[in-house]
Amino acid sequence: MINYHGYGILQHISEISNGSVQLGSGTLYGAINTLLKKGWIKIYHQEGTSRKKKEYVITEQGLHIANQELLRLQQLTKLGEDILGGNNND
């Protein structure tokens, strides 16, 4: 399972989006706090080390929610493609 600390998340998002998504640290840490409260991520502790940076990992519940959201977004994308492409199946 992949785990990231806050600054690592910012870097990773910038990398995978080719720089098109730049999150501010306030936005990120606000989202992290919300995800922690909902139980969708948790702080990752690696045994035998004392880490100063908090690292986070997605929980099973968070993975389930992320998959549901991905399906929802795919449905919206398909709907948009159908509307723009004229495929209204009437």
* Alpha carbon 79 to its chain's center: 23
Q: Provide the residue range defining the domain that includes 7.
A: 1-58
- Do residues 51 and 73 share a domain? no
CATH number of the domain within which 9 lies: 1.10.10.10
CA–CA distance, 28 with 42 (Å, rounded to integer) = 15
pLDDT of residue 87: 61
Asked if residue 35 lies in contact with residue 89, where contact means CB atoms within 8 angstroms, the answer is: no
Successive 10-residue mean pLDDT values, the chain, 90 residues: 81 93 92 96 75 86 98 97 76
- Do residues 51 and 81 share a domain? no
- Do residues 6 and 48 share a domain? yes
Strands (E), the chain: 4-5, 41-44, 55-58
- In a 10 Å sphere around its CB, with 0-12 CB exposed, 13-18 middle and 19+ buried, how is residue 15 labelled? exposed
